[in-house]
Amino acid sequence: RKEVEQDPGPFNVPEGATVAFNCTYSNSASQSFFWYRQDCRKEPKLLMSVYSSGNEDGRFTAQLNRASQYISLLIRDSKLSDSATYLCVVSYTGGFKTIFGAGTRLFVKA
């Protein structure tokens, strides 16, 4: 079983739609959580950190559920420019280990 699992998709949604991704992690010692975005043939870039209380940045909302060991990303009012691969990232306290999920592909169409 992978330490960090994501649905690879692809998710095909129309502009304006709301779309949600989940990511599960297996190690309960995980302490830090992030969502990264990767455009085609580009490097990953931080989209947002995920805090225990949840956090929102414009159209993007990230949530953490420690009991069920998953994090989620919600995108409201999807734009064409949101088309990308979204990577779930989990880090462990006290060590360097940072695990990336394989990513979820999103296509937003006009």
Partner 1 sequence: DVKVTQSSRYLVKRTGEKVFLECVQDMDHENMFWYRQDPGLGLRLIYFSYDVKMKEKGDIPEGYSVSREKKERFSLILESASTNQTSMYLCASRVGFNAEAFFGQGTRLTVV
What would the two tokens of residue 9 be? Answer: 């998709």
Residues lying near partner 1 in the complex (CB under 8 A): 4, 8, 32, 34, 42-46, 49, 87, 91, 93-103
Nearest approach, Cβ of 36 to partner 1 (angstroms)?
A: 8
Nearest approach, Cβ of 110 to partner 1 (angstroms)?
A: 27
Nearest approach, Cβ of 99 to partner 1 (angstroms)?
A: 8
Q: CB-wise, 24 or 78, nearer to partner 1?
A: 24
Q: CB-wise, 17 or 100, nearer to partner 1?
A: 100
